[in-house]
Amino acid sequence: MNSKKICLNCGSTDVVSDRSLGGKMVCFKCGSSSFRNKSFYPTINKKIIYFAIALVILLLIIL
């Protein structure tokens, strides 16, 4: 199993290789073959980082 992929349909990380499709990775729960990679940072941390960058830029403009 590859835990670095997330199914776009159901959000599951259960991925298996389907032998009938030539080894193509499919979701174990819903059977979809649409995936995206897990992000390194959760979305909440990204929002905090973007807020901090915007705050720094705003302070630079004011000063």
Distance, CA of 41 to CA of 30 (rounded, Å): 26
Position 42 scores a pLDDT of 59
- Into how many domains does the chain fold? 1
Q: What is the per-residue pLDDT across 13-49, written as a single tens digit (0 to 9) for each?
A: 888 877 777 777 888 888 778 777 766 555 567 788 8
Q: How far apart are CA 39 and CA 59, in angstroms?
A: 29
Measured CA to CA, the distance from residue 53 to residue 49 in angstroms comes to 6
Q: What is the pTM of this model?
A: 0.47
**17: domain range?**
5-62
